[in-house]
Structure 1
């Protein structure tokens, strides 16, 4: 006898449809949280470590002193300051400091102070920052200056000065910055034209011939015949030892070592 297969096929079709509409969801108790990762370079748990280095003392002409003792080193840690001094070789070591950025203050009476910016990562080893020059303050004083216009094309600048410790009455280098302006308030920050000049001299007088074309063609505000030209002359350490450090407190670059004595003079443009 032949049976009708339709009821059986219908039953299988309905069973497959029900099975396809079911979604299995896993249920249960969440597992334990995994272990925390290692702390970052500036994170809690990184060891504090010392900051070490050397300070070399130089005279105003860049000549090194044989010893560099008793240079004061300080750095702020939280609300307090940590302090130490160099030994006879110039070596210093600040106590263990946690990771962070630090401005190390370096001072000694008679020398131009400076700051050293250090990014300190901490760890098992001390942070060595190398050797830094601390330069003796200029005691040079300008004792006189004359300005002479020569042939309408050059300015002869003759400057007399005292000698610093470390300089002899013989040959040595002497450097100046010259700042020219239409205004009597001329300074190292307020000028129309500036030029640095340095050369070896014998004794305590420097004579330099300066081309006036620089003032007529290259000044921010050019000079013309009959104009009064104000000149600020500032004595400086030899350019060979000039450098800069960054003052992060005021966000400015600081010329190092600092400018010395100055004099104000004037002449009439030919």
Structure 2
């Protein structure tokens, strides 16, 4: 199966590297980018082929659209006549709907919309995918297998993609924000910065692992740490006093709203 990656930026390069690591032959991948030098560089790093978009699509069974949303319409117009029958098109561009692509691709083209996130760089990504109206179960499994190379995958209705963007798409930025604050607190309390960083990083990793491996609700896990009258209760009380929980809810609502606003509208 030949896979064309249109867009050799962060996510395109990440997918290329993951596919190679998982055993795909480099010759089965074709990279393309509007900046030819970037496509050549990324292809050289992974030993894959590179070509202009039209040639890459013409040779592909699966086409991955990994370009910026504002570049999508022009790219799809450029490759329209080269999309063959049965080709699966996977879009990882934020805000681009399956309907937007289906209207611009040959009639009947199978499209899957995916929202990945940046932990895909270390094969720990979270991707949510929504099949378009022409997708078969086989196409959905093809797309799932593709994205599982960089992490976990869920399939859901496209109407939920703005919520996905707010939670997992933008989610790493919230986690980094909290980690940054905790490290600064450690420094304020007299710890060396590298020690504070190690303490916070491992604490985050350990807590996330507990949630995943125990299957226990986070509320229960939190209560297990929070002894009556203890340090955790004092800290959590301060967070509640500053309405941190409400701030997170408001922040995610703002992210979902912005995701919806960024989706291109038909004339």
TM-score bracket for this pair, using the shorter chain length: under 0.3
- TM-score (norm: length of structure 2): 0.22
The one of the two structures with greater contact order (alpha-carbon pairs below 8 A, sep at least 6) is: 1
- TM-score (norm: length of structure 1): 0.22
Which is helix-richer, 1 or 2? 2
Q: Which entry has the higher C-alpha Rg, 1 or 2? A: 1
